[in-house]
Amino acid sequence: MLTGPIGSGEAVIADAESEIIRYLKGFNDKILAVDMEAGGLTQAFHEQDGSQAVRGWVVVRGISDDAGPNKNDEYHDVAARHAATVLRSLLSYLRLPADRT
């Protein structure tokens, strides 16, 4: 198992040698993965929640492929199971606002 920072953004990365990967490695050479969906989620959260009633969010990802030329859907199921296992272990630590308990 690897642990480390995950980059997030709106670009789809289909090439491990892309300009975006070079930029990320220059920015932080410890980035292990790049996520394309969580960036939009977090942006929407901050744009829509002017009331501050919701105090945070969490993203749990299961990584199923890399940006290499041989990527496929072979590991989607196992990645989803891993993400569900992690989320289940985190649930007891997540607090709901008082009006939602």
CA-nearest of 32, 94, 90, 92 to 66 is 32
Does the structure show a pLDDT above 90 at 46? no
Mean pLDDT, rounded, of the chain: 81
Mean pLDDT over residues 24-37, rounded? Answer: 87
CA-nearest of 65, 58, 22 to 41 is 58
What's the pLDDT band for 4 if we cut at 50, 70, 90? confident
Does the structure show a pLDDT above 90 at 21? no
What's the pLDDT band for 90 if we cut at 50, 70, 90? very high
Please count the other Cβ atoms lying within 10 Å of the Cβ belonging to residue 7.
20
Q: Do residues 93 and 43 touch, judged by C-beta distance below 8 A?
A: no
Amino acid type, 61: R
Cα atoms found within 13 Å of the Cα of residue 93, Cβ hemisphere only: 8
Taking only the tens place, the pLDDT of each residue in 58-87 is 888 888 887 777 778 899 999 999 999 999
- Is the pTM value of this prediction over 0.85? no
